Amino acid sequence: HEKLDGSGYPRGLKQKDIPIQAQIMVIADIYDALTAGDRPYKKGLPVEAALRIMRHEAVKNKINSNFLELFEQREVFSILGHSI
């Protein structure tokens, strides 16, 4: 994934060059990767643990903190049947 600070891949884009849609999608994609229970190589994390990791990424300016805040406030994860 592209990271807001330019440390991501494939192109090393910074926030101003990453489309808003991509900044939103990365929140969902990271959440899914952290919580998915159908991965043969790891168990999914509980919601709170996943959100804690994502908050840390936001503090490090890797993902958009405003979109993460909306994701949490609106409990978007609840559409997957997840709860805190």
Cα–Cα distance, 71 to 38 (Å, whole number)? 22
Residue pair 67/76 in contact by the 8 Å Cβ criterion: no
Q: What is the pLDDT of residue 84?
A: 83
pLDDT in tens, 35-82: 998 888 999 999 999 999 999 999 999 999 999 999 999 888 888 888
pTM over 0.85: yes
Distance CA 47, CA 38 (A): 15
